[in-house]
Amino acid sequence: MDSFRDFEAGPDPFGRKYRVVFKWMQTAIAIRGADTVDVKFIVTADDGETVERVIALPHALLLKHSDSTGQPVTDPWCNRLAAEHLRTMIETGEDLDKSLVTLDEHQIATADAALPKPAVR
């Protein structure tokens, strides 16, 4: 995935491919009373069906993962984590029926491991 803002994903278990477009990122404290970073995407299947999906990243788990890896918690990193997890959801079909998915510690680590790492200078 070159960009979390607009990317292709799939095929899903049924052979459909998707265009995924980043909509917004915000903290969910005021919205849902949750201590998460919510990242919303518009997901359009090749058959034209369009749905909205929100990936919720718990703040405490982001900090824990950041402490263990040295990766600073930044907006772009959170957006890429969410996009990578959504790509995995599409390709596996797991949780794809849910409009809001809250990641656990393992899912955050798995998404982070799949992200390209910057070259060391």
Q: Are 80 and 115 in contact (CB under 8 A)?
A: yes
State the pLDDT confidence band at 4, using cuts at 50, 70 and 90. Answer: confident
The pTM of the full predicted model, rounded to 2 decimals, is 0.90
- Mean pLDDT over 6-34 rounds to 88
Summarize pLDDT for 59-69 with one digit per residue, the tens.
Answer: 999 999 999 99
d(CA 112, CA 74): 13
> Where along the chain do its domains lie?
6-113
Q: Which two tokens stand for residue 95?
A: 């949780």
